[in-house]
Amino acid sequence: MTDAATAQVTKLARALGVPVDRLAYLADVPATDVRDFRFQVADLLFESQSGGLRKTAAAAKVIPAPVIAKLVARNRNALLAARMAGVLEPSHAVDVAKRLPVDFLAEVAPLLDARRSAYIIAGVPTDTIVAVAKLLAKQEDWITLGDLMAAISDAAARAAQAALDGTALIRAAFLVDDAEHLERMVALVPEAKLAEMLRAAAEHDLWDEYRSTLDGLSDSALAAVRAAVDQLPPDHRDRALAEIAADRPAS
């Protein structure tokens, strides 16, 4: 199984609520096909429940956001909150999300469909995003952290990256779906933080994750990675450069 396929099968297992090893038979399926199937599963689950949720969302329009936030926080039903996020009117959903406790948002985040909830995530204040990202990293929920980093604003991404260590960032980057989002992450990371990510790859044997992130990068982004490699000790530097060369020749 390729590194990209491993990431997609891991995310599919999360969506289906099954252990990853139960999907080992997908090892030879292209990563993009597994990703598309995961999206189809998420869409099917959403559509099967959206009728009643849309009626609830229509009723919620007349309820002030502070009241909804109080009810949601009191009930602590993370799954219901995540499903509602997909059908609430965008500005109303953001207003509610801003008022929810950080620890509860961290419970809801893994259950969100990032494609439908990106507008909510983008509207959450930066300090809240950073707090949620730190909780996800503490829980080692790299799937959700990767989705979060892909959906947030540039300003929030810079703040979150500054608050997270290199290990968390490289594990999260490995699970980012879209090459465009991965490219943006690299562009927003200072060279010193990129070097920290590379040191994490060396110290924790995360070369598979590192190699997978290289696959989605343009030549300009790879140039930024090569510049960060110069900050590493010689043995780590040689391995990092070898991984780059294994994918694409140096320009």
Q: Are 177 and 150 within 8 A, CB to CB?
A: yes
Amino acid at position 167, single letter: T
Give the pLDDT of residue 251: 44
For 57-113, the pLDDT digits (tens) are: 565 565 677 877 787 788 788 877 777 776 777 787 888 888 889 999 999 888 887
Cα 93 to chain centroid distance, Å, stands at 20
pLDDT of residue 48: 62
With beta carbons less than 8 A apart as the criterion, state whether 145 and 115 touch. Answer: no
Residues in the chain: 251
Rg (CA), the chain: 19
User: pLDDT tens digits for 18-63?
Assistant: 898 999 899 888 888 988 898 888 878 767 655 555 655 565 565 6
Q: How far apart are CA 51 and CA 53, in angstroms?
A: 5
**Taking the CB of residue 78, how many other CB atoms lie within 10 A of it?**
18
Report, as an integer, the average pLDDT of 3-9: 77
pLDDT band, residue 174 (cuts 50/70/90): confident
SS (H, E, C) 43-73: HHHHHHHHHHHHHHHHHHCCCCHHHHHHHHH
Report residue 158 as tokens.
């810079």
Query: CB-based contacts of 226: which residues, under 8 Å, 6+ apart?
Result: 241, 244, 250
| Contact of 131 with 159, CB cutoff 8 Å | no
pLDDT surpasses 90 at 177? no
Angstrom distance (rounded) from CA 38 to CA 194: 30
Q: What is the pLDDT of residue 62?
A: 57
Q: How far apart are CA 228 and CA 35, in angstroms?
A: 31
pLDDT exceeds 80 at position 11 = yes
Question: What is the helix (H) or strand (E) element at residue 122, kind and residue range?
Answer: helix 114-123
pLDDT value of residue 250: 45
When comparing pLDDT for 235 and 79, which is higher?
235
Q: How confident is the model at residue 3 (pLDDT cuts 50, 70, 90)?
A: low
Mean pLDDT of the chain: 83
Decide if 78 contacts 108 (C-beta within 8 A). yes
Give the pLDDT confidence of 188-213 residue by residue, as tens digits.
999 999 999 999 998 898 888 888 78
